[in-house]
Structure formats: structure tokens, C-alpha cells
A and B are shown apart, each in its own frame.
Chain A
Amino acid sequence: MIEIKKLHKSYPMGKDSLHVLKGLDLHIKEGEFVSIMGSSGSGKSTLLNIVGLLDTHDEGEYYLNGQLIEKLNEKKAAVLRNKFLGFVFQSFNLISYKTALENVALPLYYKGVARKERQEIAMEYLDKVELKDWANHLPSELSGGQKQRVAIARALVAQPKVVLADEPTGALDSTTSSSVMELLKEINREGMTVFVITHEEEIAAETDRIVRLKDGIIISDEKVKKNVKV
């Protein structure tokens, strides 16, 4: 689903440049639940931005759903994001003056889905995250966990290939964190590829595969041994 070969990225910092990603190789197959672990400055956010087509890479190759990503203009990138990617952010990034339902329906609007159908699908996904009763509330009337569940519904509504979650539990307490992780797991069980970025061990432990990043290099990539709970 996501294939990265010798990926390099550097940012200009005045006269010098900061080499953030130093030749990453990563292959994520369809249906995987992967977490990228790393402290701040390790390059994990940069990696997510490149994978999420929010940023471009300097060198190397990136295949998304088998398609080589190169020379993207903003329009193509927008269409690909809409088609293949669902985003979940640390700070939720809901639009404040739109209701939960309208927020969830937004990707469908950009996809060109008719209004009525859009509402129905959005409601279906809100139901899935158990927020059907909150459909007409503004984000300011929702709790942090509820907001993140709305954001997850929004990420899923256009039926993307990959859900990219950037510190999805970073702004949540531990109880709501685990319920959000449960939701992500459930989505993964239904076949969705989920790609989580975190710096918390407990969160990473919930996923199936942990990729550790340090100073722009992958230092380890291993499957998580599941403790089967009885």
C-alpha cells in the first residue's frame, strides 16, 4: 500500500540545510496497523507529511497504492488525498462553525457527492463512532474524545486506503486515549490500513508493528507480540 525507497528530505535553515530524513526504506502492506515511534525531531512528522502528500520529498521513491508519487501539483495532491488518505490530527482540526455531521460530510463534498447522499453517509459513519445523537452539535459542545471520534469518522467517510493518525491521543486523557485506540483497532480489523505516529510506548504497543525512528533513520522495525487477553 505504501512503499518508500531511500527517501530523503531536508529543510533549508538559513544558509545550511537540515537533513531530516536520511534514506528511509519502508513498506506497509494493505490492512496493516503500523506505528512510527520516535522522539521529537526524529523526523516522524515529516515522514507522515510526505506520506500524507502534504509535503514533497527530495530524493527516493514513494509509491502510494502502487502509484509513483512525483511532480505532484496541488490539484493532483488534493485529489489523491481525498481519494486515498484519511487524516486524524492531534488537535482534531474540526471546523469550528460546522456541526459534527457537516464536518464528517466535508470530504464527500470535495469528492463531489450529492448533498443528500453525503448527509446519509456521514450519519452512517457518525453512528459507527457512536455519536449519532451528537450530529447537530458544534465541536465546541463536544468533549475531546468525542471530537477525535468525529475526526476519525471524517477520516473514514470517503473510504480511503490509508488512515494517517498524527499523535491521535496526544491531547486526550488515558481513558479516552484507549477508547480512541480501540476505535482505530476496530477500523483496522475491518481491513483499513492504519498508520499512527506517536511518542508514547503504550499507544505504540496497541498496534501490530512498530517502526522506531531516530535522527532520520529507522533503527528498528518489528512486529508486536500480542498478549492474548482471556
Chain B
Amino acid sequence: MKFIFDKDSWQEIFGSIKKSKLRTAITILGVLWGIFLFITLLGSARGMENGFDKNFKNLATNSIFLWAQSTSMPNKGFQRGRQLRLKIQDVDAIKRQIPEIAFVAPRNVQGVFGGPPATVKRKTNSKTYKLFGDYPILDNVNKVKILEGRFINMNDIEDEKKVCIIGEKVVDELFEKDEQVVGSYVEINGSFFQVVGAYKDNQTSFEGDDSIYMPFSTFRKINNTGDNIGWMVIAAHKDADITQVEKDVKTVLKRRHNVHLEDKRAFGSFNFGEMFSRITGFVKGIKFLTWFVGIATLIAGVIAIGSILLITVKERTKEIGIRRALGATPSKVRGQIVLESVFLTLIAGVLGIIFGGLVLMGLNAAFGDSDSFPFVNPAVSIPIAMGAVIALVTFGSLIGMIPAQRAVSIRPIEALREE
């Protein structure tokens, strides 16, 4: 240990490094490149992960969209091809029977799955928009970014209030600039509704920014939908197996609607949880690849240091012979070469980490605020960076052993004879 902190051993190392500056620089470059790639790739993968997280943070990721279709098998006297309808009672039933479910948001819409959209009038302006009937719980599934005012609440539902929340684009098209939006009235399908809020599109759902939300109960009343619901969003608890939940929900619904249990067509669904886990899997894959490529490049760099030191040792055979004739013990010779190797890898590693960090900062400045490219706050944690440095020191000393051993394996008499 004393050897490492001895000023003289460092003097010897600087002496031999100074002797061949270019070679040292090239040697360092190998490891520098390796750790630079490692840090940059790992940070970028992290940035991507953060980016996806940011894009999906407004969604309940462990969720299913489920709707009714027509049967494909006859059952209990019903013929095949019977059109099914989800009922509001189904919601309570599946919530009761499947404990993994966190909540269910039943939804209705006019103007998305066939049928004309709703006509909306404001003074002399008239246009058609998609019209949604929703519960406040929707906010938990697909968070609505409210620009001003509020979203639907339970009072609206209970009192079947004639209120609505309109999209940014609707505001632009129906209202004059600087006109008060919240509190004003619009005519929807012939009835007047008070606007209680305006929202902004969050880009991850099909509402867009040209839709209108109203309370589920109000929608049902004005559209005469009775107990029918268009579709439902079912969110499971975070660690629940969403694929199993999807199966269970369908089984419950098939029993309730007298559908054959083997009927594949009766209920359609989109498993958002599965898609999300595929994205997560993709990010994981990239991370794994990064680790693999990074470590492989790093090892290649360290091996380059080892081989260059081997050449150095060969070139310095005579010098090492002289030193040994003057009283250098094999352990001193070995120690010096290993220390030189560790020193070079360490310098290269630290420089690589610094450059990698700078590039990540640059990437963050370029893409960090962009909504379209999922790349937020790319970073490598301190423990990983420290781990990389420790690995470098370890690799550096291991690889340094090879030239060091070679240096002492040549007997001084042979070394001195070399011209």
C-alpha cells in the first residue's frame, strides 16, 4: 500500500509516460471510448425509460379496454350472431367478483364507433364533435389535463346536470378570442349545456382535443341509452396479472350475458397493460444491450492497454534489466507496471465518464422538453459510475499483471544483453 502513495513510484510512472506521450494518448483513448459509450448508452436508455414514463404517466397502465360484439356460437337457445350490449350493472358485477380490479370506468360515446357525431352550436357557429358520457373516475384512467374550470364530479352524475367540458379545439372554433369560456352555454343536440371546464389533449388517447365530455347520467338521458354502455376501461391493481384479469372479466360477462364460455368473439378488448409491458420489455432489452455493448467495449479497451503495456515492456526490456542490476526487486518492477496500467485505465475512465456526462447533458438539452421524442433526464446513477470505475481499476490491475509478469520473467542478464 505504501508503494501506491509513494511519491517516487509516481515519479517513475510519469517518467515512463512522458517518454511516449503519443502512445499513452492512444492507449487511453481505447478505454476512454469504451467507458464513454457505456455511460452515454446507459444514460440514453435511462432517458428513454423516463420519456416513456412521462408519456404514460397520465394513463392507468395496467388496464384493459373492453367492449361488446356479437356472439359467434349458439348458446342456451340463443342463435349465433346475437348483438350484445354491455350494461351498467356489469360494472358492479365484475368489480364485486374480481378482487384484482382497482376500478372500472364505464363510458359512452356518440360519433366514434359509427353514428353521427353531436351537433354543437354557439351563437351563429355550428359544428359536429365527438361526445363522451363519463364518470369522474375517468380521471384515474386517462388523466384529463384541465386548462380552466373543472372535470365532471359525482354531483353532476347524481343530478344529471347539463354541464360539459370542452376541448381546446372546440374552444378555438366556437368561441371568439378573449371570450369567457367557463360559465358560458353551448347547444348540444338541441339542449343547452353549461361549460364548466376546458381541457387540453394529452396525446395518448382517442378523445383528441375536439371532443366534449358530459356526465354519464346526462348522456344516457339525452341519448336514450338506458342501461347500455359503450365500453369500459378496467384498471387492475399495479401488481395484478392483467392477462388473467382480462380472462376473468370476460368469463364473468359471458355468464351474465348467456354467452358460450368458448365464444371468442362476443367481447372485444384491448389489453393496454400487455402493450405497456411490451414497451417496458423493449426498454429493458435496450438496457441489457447497453450493458452488454458497454462492458464488451470496456474490456476491449482494457485489453488494448494490456497489449500496449506488453509492447512497452518489450521495448523497455533493457531498462528493466538495468534497474534490476541496480537493485530493483521483481515485486518493485511488477508493482510499477501494474500501477502504470491502473493509472492509465483510471485516467481514461474518469475522462470517459466526464465526456459521457457532457454528451448526456447535451442530449437532454436537445430532447428533454420535446413531447414527441420520449427522452427525459438521461442519467447514470453514481453507484453505477463508481462501479464502472472500480471495475476499471480491477480490470486494469488484472491486465497489468500480464506485462508485469513478463517484465520480471526475463532474467536481468538476458535483458542487459539486449541491444
Contact = CB atoms under 8 A, between A and B. Distances in A.
Interface of A: 49, 52, 54-55, 74-75, 78-79, 81-83, 87, 89, 91, 93-98, 106-107, 109-111, 115, 154, 158
A110 B322 contact: no
Given A55-B413, A97-B19, A109-B8, A75 B329 contact: yes
16 contacts: A52-B325, A54-B411, A54-B416, A55-B411, A55-B413, A74-B329, A74-B330, A75-B331, A81-B326, A81-B327, A87-B325, A93-B416, A95-B323, A96-B319, A98-B15, A106-B323
B18 interface: yes
Nearest to B16: A97
B408 interface: yes
Nearest to A110: B327
B332 interface: yes
B408 A95 contact: no
A78 B413 contact: no
Given A49-B413, A95-B319, A110 B326 contact: yes
Interface string B1-21: 000000110000001101100
Contacts of B323: 95, 106, 110
Interface in B324-340: 324-332
Contacts of A78: 324, 327-330
Contacts, number: 64
> Chain B contact residues (Cβ within 8 angstroms of A): what range?
20 to 34
Interface of B: 7-8, 15-16, 18-19, 318-319, 322-332, 408, 411-413, 416, 419
Q: Interface of chain B, helix or strand or loop or mixed? A: helix
B172 to A, nearest CB: 76
Contact of B326 (A91, A106, A115): A106
Nearest to A87: B325
Contacts of B325: 52, 54, 81, 87, 93
A79 B332 CA distance: 11
A96 B411 CA distance: 21
Nearest to B11: A115
A25 B416 CA distance: 26
B314 to A, nearest CB: 16
Contacts of B318: 93
A147 to B, nearest CB: 13
Nearest to B325: A87
A158 B327 CA distance: 10
A204 to B, nearest CB: 23
Contacts of B324: 74, 78, 81
A52 B326 CA distance: 11
A87 B330 contact: no
What 5 pairs between A and B have smallest CB-CB spacing?
A82-B327, A110-B327, A54-B413, A78-B329, A107-B326
